[in-house]
Amino acid sequence: MTRLLLIGMPGAGKGTQAERLSEAFGIPAISTGDIFRHNVKNETELGKQAKAFMDRGEYVPDSLTNALVRDRLSHADAAEGFLLDGYPRTADQVVELDDILSSHSQKLDAVVMLTADVDEVVRRLLNRAIEQGRADDTEEVIRRRLEVYEEQTAPLVSVYAARDLVVTVDGLGEVAEVTARIVDALAERGIAKN
Ligand code: ADP
């Protein structure tokens, strides 16, 4: 029963690694970005509310994001562990997640901080824009997303570091190599895959 968070700049490779870790640990990968994009695509009420923020590279308001995660973590598959990708991203979301976990009598095992340098992530995101055409992958919006990350999300690392939960892993290199680094770093802390 493993409960992990994945934090890192936009373009650090969280989504890619989340899928691989989900498989390795046998836990669902829950990506708030994917859930929002799915809702935007299907033009749900949530999607309509989230879209304007996402298109500008801003965070979706905490009230919407928190409610979404609270609901998702109450699903049966998350009772046996989970990996959250892209949540929490604000101080308010940290408080909310603490409350959700304590209401389920659960605790986090580790927070994986995936590092990458800014030039590399901008390069990756511009590439992804060409390949996938994500609306928030234009150069101007990418720059805004990086700013918002620095302002609101980077400070969360020290919150989790104070709880001794942070495992920092270099996100540069081959995809499989990065996965192996994460798995090894977690194993060193006694967090083993199934
Ligand atoms: P990236 O990590 O590449 O920025 P994501 O796919 O994780 O992108 O998220 C895309 C967008 O979805 C974000 O820019 C933001 O608008 C919204 N979003 C995702 N997760 C959150 C969150 N925890 N809080 C607020 N907004 C979020």
DSSP letter at 13?
Answer: S
Tens of each residue's pLDDT in the chain, 194 residues: 899 999 999 999 999 999 999 999 999 999 999 999 999 999 999 999 999 999 999 999 999 999 999 999 999 999 999 999 999 999 999 999 999 999 999 999 999 999 999 999 999 999 988 898 787 888 899 999 999 999 999 999 999 999 999 999 999 999 999 999 999 999 999 998 76
From ligand 1's centre to the CA of 10, what distance in Å? Answer: 8
Active-site residue numbers?
A: 14, 89, 128, 134, 145
**Per the confidence metrics, is the pTM higher than 0.85?**
yes
Provide the pLDDT for residue 193: 75
Give the pLDDT confidence score for residue 135 in this predicted structure: 78
* Structural tokens at position 3: 């409960």
Long-range residue pairs from 153-162, CB within 8 A, at least 24 positions apart, any chain:
153/7, 153/89, 153/90, 155/91, 156/7, 156/88, 156/89, 156/90, 156/91, 156/94, 157/7, 157/111, 157/113, 159/91, 159/94, 160/5, 160/7, 160/108, 160/111
What confidence score (pLDDT) does residue 22 get?
97
pLDDT at res. 163: 98
Q: Judge whether 158 and 171 are in contact, CB under 8 Å.
A: no
Ligand 1 midpoint to CA 66 (Å): 13
Contact status, residue 81 vs residue 25, Cβ threshold 8 Å: yes
Distance 89 CA to ligand 1 centre (A): 8
Please report the atom of ligand 1 found closest to the CA of residue 93: 23
What is the torsion angle, in degrees rounded to the nearest 10, for the CA atoms of residue 168, residue 165, residue 91 and residue 39? 70
Question: What ligand 1 atom has the least distance to the C-alpha of 32?
Answer: 20
Model pLDDT, residue 133:
78
Fill in the DSSP letter of residue 125.
H
**Could you give all domains of the chain from N- to C-terminal order, each with its CATH number?**
2-184 (3.40.50.300)
Q: Decide: 65 in ligand 1 pocket, CB within 6 A.
A: yes
d(CA 107, CA 102): 7
CB of 36 closer than 6 angstroms to any ligand 1 atom? yes
What pLDDT does 183 receive? 97
